[in-house]
Every structure is written in structure tokens, then in C-alpha cells.
Amino acid sequence: MSGEIARTFAQAKARGEGVLVTYAMAGDPDLPRSVDVFAALVEGGADVLEIGVAFSDPIADGPVIQGAAERALKAGSTLKRVLDEVVPAVRKRCPQTPLVIMTYVNLIMAMGEARYAKLARERGVSGTILPDLPPEESASLRATFDAEGMDLIPLCAPTTPPARAQAIAKDGRGFVYCVSVSGVTGMRAELPPDLSQRLDLVRKAATVPVVAGFGISTAEQARMLSAHADGVVVGSALVRAAHTEGLEAAKALCADIKRGLRR
């Protein structure tokens, strides 16, 4: 696990808090102003920033994040520009906050595994999440990332069989991202009744922290999950708040959810 991510989880645990991982789209509404969004989330209490990189076929994303991706692409967002322009600016404004890239494997392959890993790490990226990369096909990329000191963060889906989920957790890097609900990203009024049981199973096998994401949008949901996970990921609710209501609304929502993670 990269030093930045490990330190952040350890510090939160020492404070008796769950870790809040927040997602926003680099380049939404444009590249410079997306930096303001990330900074506002940290001001609101985000512990880890998940930096989305727009892709033309975002199979894991619901309508809110798809809309953000469309705005980012229209604004000229590319993986290279995010690494060259957005990540260094966020790193400067949020020097203690781990940065994790969330994108799709085609973009990494197009840039080149080794080139991406080196450039991302040089810019200050601690980890990468690739929701369309099957664990069975991840060994080469994980080794490349390991060599650069960057984490390839794995996902466990609701449909992942228990034995496979345990194997993913045992070989995890950074943290294990447990997907809360089937389908795409987006706010949910209710989370699955078996989610806490799935989280407990993964957490027992994991050698790194475990977080829950997809569908989480309220402090009460975060509070409920904090007994079974080391943190939560919140994306669509914050993206929508920033886009429709502004930075202060996103910051306030972030702060409210963070309060739910204080045990």
C-alpha cells in the first residue's frame, strides 16, 4: 500500500473516524474549475480524492457521472491533460490528501502501462481504480504499478462469489473497493440488506482497508456502514451538488457525510 494511503487510513483510525473518499470528474465544468471542486471537497472533510478521468464508454457510471464526463470531454479533458494540469494543481492545494485516479483501462493501455504509472506517480498520484479490469487480467499492470510505488486498487462487486472476493481482498493494494449495489453509480434511497455481511466477509480476508462505494449519499448511510467498513466512497451526490448548487453545497454535503463517519 502506498505510504500516503496507508497513513491516511491509520490517522483516521487513530481519531476514531472512517475515511471519506470523494469522487469528482476532472475537467467538469472545465479543467481549472474542477481543481476548485476537489479543493472544496477537502475543505469539507474528504480524506482521499478520487479523480475521475472521462472516457467515451463509461460502463460503470450512472447518469450524473456520465453527464460530468460529457462536460469534461467537451472541455478538452484527456488523461494526459489531467495528469499534466489537474493533478499537479490539486496536489499543490491539497498536499496531504492522497489522490486516486478513477478511469477505464483503455485509456491506460493507449498511453502505455509503464508511461502512465511513471507519469502518474511523478505527479503525485497514490493509486488507480479501473472498474473494467478483471482481476484475472490485472497481474501485469499491478506489477508495473508496484514497481512505481502506486496502488492498483481492486473492486469487489455484489455478484462476486465469496471465495473470489476473499482472494481479491487478500491480494489488494491501497484499499479494497466494495461496490455496494448492482448496476451503475448513482444515489440510492436504500442499500442492500446483505451489504454489511459482504463487507464483513471481505474485511476479514483483506490485508488492506475496505471501503464501500456506489449509492452512498447521506450521513446516515455512512454511519451505518462505518461499523462494517474502514470508509465510504461518495461520488454522484457530490457531483450533482457541485454542478447544480455550487461548491459551497458540495462542501456542506461532504462535511455532513464526514460527521456520519465519526464513531
Q: What is the pLDDT of residues 18-31, one digit of tens each?
A: 999 999 999 999 99
Q: Which residues contact 239 (CB under 8 A, 6 or more apart)?
A: 23, 24, 25, 28, 64, 65, 68
Checking if the pLDDT of 118 tops 50, the result is yes
**pLDDT tens, residue by residue, 165-183:** 889 998 899 999 998 864 4
- What span, in angstroms and rounded, lies between the C-alpha atoms of 197 and 252? 30
**Contact criterion met (CB below 8 Å) for 140 and 113:** yes
> What is residue 181's predicted lDDT score, i.e. its pLDDT?
64
- For residue 248, what pLDDT band results from cuts at 50, 70 and 90? very high
Distant-in-sequence contacts of 146-150, Cβ < 8 A, 24+ apart: 146/173, 147/117, 148/117, 148/118, 148/120, 148/121, 149/2, 149/3, 149/121, 150/2, 150/117, 150/120, 150/121, 150/125, 150/126
> What is residue 187's predicted lDDT score, i.e. its pLDDT?
44
Q: What is the arithmetic mean of pLDDT over 144-162?
A: 92
CA dihedral 23, 86, 44, 173 (to 10 degrees): 50
Share of the chain above pLDDT 90, in %: 77
Checking if the pLDDT of 122 tops 70, the result is yes
Q: What is the arithmetic mean of pLDDT over 72-99?
A: 98
Q: What residues does each domain of the chain span?
A: 18-260
* Whole-Å CA distances, 239 to 50, 134, 193: 12, 27, 26
> What is residue 186's predicted lDDT score, i.e. its pLDDT?
42
> What is residue 183's predicted lDDT score, i.e. its pLDDT?
45
pTM assigned to the model: 0.93
- For residue 263, what pLDDT band results from cuts at 50, 70 and 90? confident
Checking if the pLDDT of 184 tops 60, the result is no
Q: Residue 208, SS3? A: coil
Tell me the torsion sign for CA atoms 15, 185, 142, 73.
negative
Residues with a catalytic annotation lie at 50, 61
Instruction: Specify the CATH architecture of the domain 18-260.
Output: Alpha-Beta Barrel (3.20)
